[in-house]
A and B are shown apart, each in its own frame.
Chain A
């Protein structure tokens, strides 16, 4: 029984991308960062799976889709431990960690209601000021936001 489950978890993709080690409470933020709500490909989402590293984890598998590196790196905002596996012909051909970029375009909503970005049809820009504790600063209103306060738009 157990063995079957394990097989189900790892063996499903022929080609595509697996995003593993997502903290369970951030799983749907990752879905939203990658815009998977509107992705027509077949997608498998697992959540609250046991993880030695982070307690409970989520996992996302997207068939026949290979994301741009800069898009995947945006995940690091909410899931800094996330791991990317690229699958070709059932084989993992690339395995890497996400890493936070210096500047994030879009994705984050500024928490300051008086910020211009919340009042004009425009893209937000955030500078990552602390990559270890994850702190970002709005390019426009200059307000700093820490990891737990980051809102994804």
Chain B
């Protein structure tokens, strides 16, 4: 499977990445190479192997349900570009 320029633009848009027009071709070719590698791996017969969700062969540790955090709003909002009434302000979003 080869990646076309449109695919690169779509992926970049979904990931909110800005790509210069002159870079599109080279990304398409790099990503296509990766896909070649993936296809190569797909050749291996894995029919009797259970898919794994995580490389670590362990299960999730759980946390007791207690409130441990206190209000750190002032500190956490120090690097926000705009705040008001305790809210983060962002460019207007319309649904």
Partners in one complex: no
